[in-house]
Amino acid sequence: MQIFTTGRSFWSEREINNAERKKMELVFHQCDVGKKGYLSREDLKIAVIMLFGYKPSKSETNILMENGADCPGVPLERFVSLMERKMSAEDPYEKTRQIFSAFDVHCRGFLKLDDFKSAFKRVAPHLPERTVLEAFRYADQDSDGHISFKDFENFISYGLANICSSTGATK
């Protein structure tokens, strides 16, 4: 699958590893109420929630339920195939974008120290202010008082654990 954005393209598909396949199989078996060997419509909705964290729409569920077989639901092999396709097409930056948007309450496209403090106060009220300040300084690579999405992504990916461990915030 190729995605086009503002004249440039990039490949968004990624390989699914064995651990992810095993998780899909485990979720299938957990959701196969009555051990029928297939997922009913309701079973399938719960499986998608478990794997992706959202309830699929009616139209998405209809598409997933279409299997062209005599089976009244989605058997394991088809489920794994569908979920692999769905997972491989997932935007790897989506979760970070959602977190950034939650921090960016003023919709400026960047974060200021006050945004950072406010967000951390909501999600980690007992975190020392010095840890929040150090995290902001770490994320603000160019020291301009603003954190861009790219800076935030680097911070989430590499810096947050380092900041928390160096300040003792995880203890």
In this predicted model, what pLDDT tens digit does every residue of 99-128 receive, in sequence order? 888 888 888 889 999 998 998 888 888 989
CA distances from 152 to 37, 75, 87, 125, 163 (A): 44, 41, 24, 20, 14
Cα separation, 140 vs 147, in Å, equals 5
* Class level of CATH domain 18-89: mainly alpha
pLDDT for the residue numbered 170: 44
Would residue 66 be called left, alpha or beta, if left means φ above 0 and alpha means ψ between -120 and 50 degrees?
A: beta
Please report the pLDDT score of residue 78 as a whole number.
92
Please tell me if the domain spanning 18-89 has the same topology as the one spanning 93-165.
yes
Q: What is the DSSP code string of 65-77?
A: H---SS-SSEEHH
* Domain 93-165 CATH assignment equals 3.50.50.60: no
